[in-house]
Amino acid sequence: MVFKKRQSHGFNNLHFPSVPKAPRSARRAFHKRIVEDSQICAFELLASLAGKLLQESESSSASSNASDANDRPAISDGVVKREQVETKPVKTECLDLGSCEESIFLPDYGSPSSDSRGSLNEIPLPAESDAILERYSTVSNSDSSEKGNSDVKPIQGEKAPKLEGAPPVTVEPCDEKPENGVGSQPLADGMETRGLILDNACSSKDPMKSCLRNPALINSDNTAKHLSHGNSLPRASDLKLGNGVKLGIRDDDENFFRFNKLSSRRKAFRPSSRIGDRRIRKLLSSKYWKAAPKLKDYELTRPLFADLGMKPLHHKRKLSCNPDKTQGDILYKRRKFSDRSVVIASDRGFSGESVCNSPEKGTSGDNGSAVLCYGGVLICTAPFSCFLVHFSKLSAVKLSIKSFKIPELFIDVPETATVGSLKRTVVEAVTSLLGGGLRVGLVLHGKKVRDDNRTLLQTGITSADSLETLGFTLEPNSVQAPVPLCSEEPPAILPCETSHLISRALVAVEPASAEALAVVPLNQKSRRSENVQRRTRRPFSVSEVEALVQAVEELGTGRWRDVKLRSFDNADHRTYVDLKDKWKTLVHTAQIAPQQRRGEPVPQKLLDRVLAAHSYWSQHQAKQHTKNAAAVATATAMLQITDGQAIEA
DNA sequence: CTTAGGG
DNA sequence: CCCTAAG
């Protein structure tokens, strides 16, 4: 398929060139910071979020413009200087970080200010206040105009370092006040509000933060340089296999590790693993959308969208050309950091499997929570959202929300649509989603907690046990945005105004393609995954194993229901299938070398019993079968004898 | 619903 | 843990 080929090469370069390996590393660092430092009250955060939703639509335009004017790096003779350095937090990465380290950036094509940037007005530029990309673009512009120094690196974030000839290596101290709470910032200032989270999560004097502010420090390689010479958005010439691949993934990860080494305090991810991914995929697939954003909505919600850190909604991996490698790498590397209570939503990427030749296949929704379709062909899936919670041992429940799960999106564009239009469609889809208003849902142990009046204690959100079982979701609050998948309505068509707004962008949207920008539900197939959630993994404790072994020793391996009733009757979360599965793994565990075993070590003594019982019951069952057969034969013979005797008599 | 076994 | 065939 044509697109498959393009996918193999284009998408990486396509999305990532503009950006920021460094930010990604920084984002990862930020993840960790959240784990470490964040004392954010989740509910404050949520409240703030809600407030922002309301206020941003009114104030963002003005405030962002203002901040834009003040905050944009100045360019002079190839020297990029940053004005108003310290008052703004490093905001942009904040939620970016939270979502996916492999995010791409969704440019804001609607920004009028794009026109004022000389040659850049050909290029769709992101919203001013939140655009990492933009800052990058600015630098790029300077650079490409032959004034810049070749060492000029992309500048991202608010704390971009000065670039004066030599690669910037200055590490600026972080002077944000950690006590800046969510509610302590004027909501009218989107940037400051955005920064709050980061403020909270960012501790001064942490090398992580320094790196965060100094992406060039990280990106001091050819790849970065390559980027800095490029446009913020991919051009045709960028759509080739090149540095992008390396840059998109490996380098970032390497940087990340480099990064990591800088930190004296290590906190780790808990790998989501495919299991977690699958779970989240199901979680996320609870809603379906049809979005036909109007111009008004679009403009109103754009800043909000950006402020919410939704740019990274798209997982780079889903756009990656090398599914095996990228996904494998990521999984592997995440595993390296495993031991903490982070649930990362997605590991499923844009893999070959996800590219389907048939709409049917692509609509199954099996590959992700969000499915991006191109001309009816599944392009990628986008499970996004990660969040973590962790608890103190005090009576207070402390948790931080890394990001939210957002509902599934289905996007359908024709084959003639441009990549740019496709991206914009995604932007609009999400914008529309958010524009409808959001509410927060809470999921515990896979079940929605609907009773808002119950206490955390009553709900069970107090123990470490619930650490992995608590989740927050963003749910549509309005009736306008979400439409049930089963809708029979014809695909929605974008209003002309919106199309026009987009046509101002670099990549012109063909009139014929405009109508294709509609975001529509795919079909009803995906519906089956609605509200299906994988159970939380609950590793068996040693005592549970012991009980299981005990029961199996007595009952055998084919009577799981009895085992359940006998030894796990009170453990509601252990089904007999679970017990059977656990026995299966126990047998396997007992058969492999101790070094290969994972998880909580099971005493060898128990494993020995497992093997003994396993072999015993294997034989016993066999015997039983022959016994039964023999018994039947005997009984038959007896009957025959009896019959014969009766006949004789 | 249970079991069994692959995913 | 999930899924599903099979009884």
CATH number of the domain enclosing A550: 1.10.246.220
Q: Which nucleotide is nearest to A564 (CA to C1')?
A: B2
Q: Give the mean model confidence (pLDDT) for residues A148-177.
A: 32
Distance CA(A208)–CA(A288), nearest Å, equals: 38
pLDDT value at A427 more than 50: yes
> Closest Cα to residue A320, out of A306, A311, A330, A310?
A330
Whether A537 is in a domain gets the answer no
The gap between A563 CA and B2 C1' (Å) is 12
- Percentage of residues in chain A having pLDDT higher than 70: 21
pLDDT band for A564, please (50, 70, 90 cuts). Answer: very high
Whether A96 is in a domain gets the answer yes
The gap between A187 CA and B2 C1' (Å) is 58
pLDDT value at A146 more than 70: no
Task: Look at A25 and A444; give whichever has higher pLDDT.
Answer: A444
Q: Give the mean model confidence (pLDDT) for residues A580-596.
A: 92
pLDDT band for A412, please (50, 70, 90 cuts). Answer: confident
User: Are A496 and A577 found together in one domain?
Assistant: no
Whether A531 is in a domain gets the answer no
The gap between A201 CA and C2 C1' (Å) is 37
Q: Give the mean model confidence (pLDDT) for residues A321-334.
A: 32
Q: Give the mean model confidence (pLDDT) for residues A169-185.
A: 31
Residue A578's pLDDT is what? 94
Total domains in the fold of chain A:
2
Contact flag, residue A560 CB and nucleic strand B, below 7 A = yes
Alpha helices in A411-538 (DSSP H): 419-435, 456-459, 496-503, 511-514
Owning domain of residue A579: 542-648
User: Are A499 and A558 found together in one domain?
Assistant: no
Q: Give the mean model confidence (pLDDT) for residues A352-369.
A: 30
User: Are A563 and A629 found together in one domain?
Assistant: yes
pLDDT value at A577 more than 90: yes
pLDDT value at A463 more than 60: yes
**For A308-312, A406-410, A598-602, A633-637, which range has the lowest pLDDT when averaged over its residues?**
A308-312
pLDDT value at A78 more than 70: no
Residue A637's pLDDT is what? 55
Q: Which nucleotide is nearest to A275 (CA to C1')?
A: C1
Q: Which nucleotide is nearest to A561 (CA to C1')?
A: B2
The gap between A634 CA and C7 C1' (Å) is 25
Contact flag, residue A225 CB and nucleic strand B, below 7 A = no
The gap between A460 CA and C2 C1' (Å) is 25
User: Are A348 and A291 found together in one domain?
Assistant: yes
pLDDT band for A383, please (50, 70, 90 cuts). Answer: very low
User: Are A43 and A95 found together in one domain?
Assistant: yes
Q: Which nucleotide is nearest to A575 (CA to C1')?
A: C1
Distance CA(A42)–CA(A442), nearest Å, equals: 11
Whether A535 is in a domain gets the answer no
Q: Which nucleotides of B are covered by protein (CB under 7 A)?
A: 1-7
How many residues are given for chain A? 649
pLDDT band for A457, please (50, 70, 90 cuts). Answer: confident
Q: Are A103 and A313 in contact (CB under 8 A)?
A: yes
Contact flag, residue A558 CB and nucleic strand B, below 7 A = yes
Residue A430's pLDDT is what? 75
Domain boundary, last residue among A468, A497, A525: A525
The gap between A577 CA and B6 C1' (Å) is 14
- Name the residues in A563-592 having a C-beta closer than 7 Å to nucleic acid strand B: 576-577, 580-581, 584
Contact flag, residue A561 CB and nucleic strand B, below 7 A = yes
The gap between A348 CA and C2 C1' (Å) is 17
pLDDT value at A555 more than 70: yes
Whether A536 is in a domain gets the answer no
The gap between A615 CA and B7 C1' (Å) is 25
Encode burial over A112-121: b for 16+ CB neighbours within 10 A, e otherwise. ebbeebeebe
pLDDT value at A588 more than 70: yes
Residue A545's pLDDT is what? 92
Contact flag, residue A301 CB and nucleic strand B, below 7 A = no
Residue A440 bridge partners (DSSP): A474
Residue A99's pLDDT is what? 32
User: Are A441 and A565 found together in one domain?
Assistant: no
The gap between A261 CA and B2 C1' (Å) is 52
The gap between A338 CA and B6 C1' (Å) is 28
Q: Give the mean model confidence (pLDDT) for residues A516-542.
A: 58
The gap between A577 CA and C4 C1' (Å) is 13
The gap between A46 CA and C2 C1' (Å) is 33
User: Are A60 and A98 found together in one domain?
Assistant: yes
Mean residue pLDDT across chain A: 46
pLDDT band for A547, please (50, 70, 90 cuts). Answer: very high
Q: Which residue is nearest to nucleotide B6 (CA to C1')?
A: A581
Q: Give the mean model confidence (pLDDT) for residues A90-99.
A: 30
Residue A342's pLDDT is what? 26
Q: Which nucleotide is nearest to A540 (CA to C1')?
A: C1
**Structure tokens given for A600:** 């909580």
The gap between A465 CA and B4 C1' (Å) is 31
Contact flag, residue A525 CB and nucleic strand B, below 7 A = no
Residue A426's pLDDT is what? 81
- What values do phi and psi take at A601, rounded to 5? -65, 135
Convert A400-447 into a string of H (helix), E (strand) and C (coil).
CCCCCECCCCEEEECCCCCHHHHHHHHHHHHHHHHHCCEEEEEEECCE
Contact flag, residue A617 CB and nucleic strand B, below 7 A = no
The gap between A103 CA and B1 C1' (Å) is 45
Convert A383-402 into a string of H (helix), E (strand) and C (coil).
CCCEEECCCCCCCCCCCCCC
Q: Which nucleotide is nearest to A584 (CA to C1')?
A: B5
Residue A576's pLDDT is what? 94
Whether A532 is in a domain gets the answer no
Residue A362's pLDDT is what? 31
Contact flag, residue A624 CB and nucleic strand B, below 7 A = no
pLDDT value at A369 more than 80: no
User: Are A481 and A411 found together in one domain?
Assistant: yes
pLDDT value at A298 more than 60: no
User: Are A426 and A386 found together in one domain?
Assistant: yes
Q: Which nucleotide is nearest to A579 (CA to C1')?
A: C1
**For A72-76, A180-184, A245-249, A393-397, which range has the lowest pLDDT when averaged over its residues?**
A245-249
A448's enclosing H/E stretch is strand A447-448
Q: Which residue is nearest to nucleotide B3 (CA to C1')?
A: A558
Q: Give the mean model confidence (pLDDT) for residues A248-263.
A: 28
Distance CA(A29)–CA(A444), nearest Å, equals: 27
Whether A430 is in a domain gets the answer yes
The gap between A35 CA and C3 C1' (Å) is 35
Contact flag, residue A562 CB and nucleic strand B, below 7 A = yes
Residue A461's pLDDT is what? 74
User: Are A551 and A416 found together in one domain?
Assistant: no
Domain boundary, last residue among A525, A559, A580: A525
Q: Give the mean model confidence (pLDDT) for residues A323-344.
A: 30
The gap between A542 CA and B2 C1' (Å) is 26
The gap between A584 CA and C6 C1' (Å) is 20
pLDDT band for A397, please (50, 70, 90 cuts). Answer: confident
pLDDT value at A135 more than 70: no
Q: Which nucleotides of C are covered by protein (CB under 7 A)?
A: 1-4
Distance CA(A178)–CA(A195), nearest Å, equals: 11
Q: Which nucleotide is nearest to A563 (CA to C1')?
A: B2
Q: Give the mean model confidence (pLDDT) for residues A472-491.
A: 40
The gap between A579 CA and C1 C1' (Å) is 11
Whether A197 is in a domain gets the answer yes
User: Are A203 and A96 found together in one domain?
Assistant: yes
User: Are A493 and A571 found together in one domain?
Assistant: no
Tens-place pLDDT, residues A191-209: 222 222 222 233 333 333 3
Domain boundary, last residue among A469, A500, A525: A525
**Structure tokens given for A155:** 């500048």
The gap between A512 CA and C2 C1' (Å) is 44
Residue A15's pLDDT is what? 29
Residue A419's pLDDT is what? 86
Q: Give the mean model confidence (pLDDT) for residues A110-130.
A: 33
Task: Look at A335 and A395; give whichever has higher pLDDT.
Answer: A395
Q: How far is CA A295 from CA A89, A238, A474, A498, in A?
A: 31, 30, 23, 5
* Strand C-proximal protein residues, Cβ less than 7 Å: A 275, 278, 282, 532, 534-538, 573, 577-578, 581, 584-585
